[in-house]
A = this chain, B = another copy of it.
Amino acid sequence: MTSKHALHQPSNGRAILELIQYDRNHYNRFDDLSVTEIIHKINPHQVNWINVDGLEETHILEKLQEHFCLHTLLIEDVLNDQRPKAEEYEDYLFFTLKMLYRIDDKHIDYEQVSFVVGTNFLVSFQEKEGDLFEAFRDRIRLDQGKVRKQKTDYLLYRLLDIIVDNYYTVLDAIGEQIDDIEEKIQSGSSDSIFSEIQQIKKELIFLRKAVYPLRDALSKLVKGETSFVTDHTTRYFADVYDHIVHLIDSLDTYKDLTASLLDIHFNTQNNRMTEVMKVLAVISTIFIPLTFIVGVYGMNFEYMPELKTKWGYPLTWLVMIGIGGSMLLYFRKKKWF
| Chain A contact residues, CB within 8 Å of chain B | 1-5, 71, 73, 76-77, 82-83, 85, 87, 165, 168, 171-172, 175, 194-195, 198, 201-202, 205-206, 209, 212-213, 235-236, 238-239, 242-243, 245-246, 249-250, 252-254, 256-257, 260, 262-264, 267, 269-270, 273-281, 283-285, 287-292, 294-304, 306-310, 312-313, 316, 334, 336
Q: Flag if B307 contacts A302 (CB, 8 Å).
A: yes
Check A171–B307 contact: CB distance below 8 A: no
- A289 near B298: Cβ-Cβ < 8 Å: no
Question: Is B83's CB under 8 angstroms from A245's CB?
Answer: yes
* Interface pair B294/A299, CB less than 8 Å apart: yes
Residues of B within 8 A of A253 (CB): 2, 205-206, 209
Quick one: which of B172, B242, B273, B283 contacts A284, CB cutoff 8 A? B283
Nearest Cβ on chain B to A157's Cβ, whole angstroms: 11
Chain B residues near A254 (CB-CB < 8 A): 2
A274 touches B273 (CB 8 A): yes
**How far does the Cβ of A112 sit from chain B's closest Cβ, in whole Å?**
12
Instruction: Enumerate chain B residues within 8 angstroms of A288, measured Cβ to Cβ.
Output: 283-284, 287-288, 291
Residues of B within 8 A of A302 (CB): 307-308, 312
Report whether B287 and A316 are in contact in the complex, using a CB–CB cutoff of 8 Å: no
Question: A278: which B residues are within 8 A, CB to CB?
Answer: 276
Q: In the complex, A256→B208 CA distance in Å?
A: 11
Docked pose: A241 CA to B258 CA in angstroms: 31
**Apart from the given pairs A298-B298, A301-B307, 8 other A-B contacts in the complex at a CB distance below 8 Å:** A71-B235, A77-B242, A83-B249, A198-B263, A213-B245, A279-B281, A280-B281, A290-B292
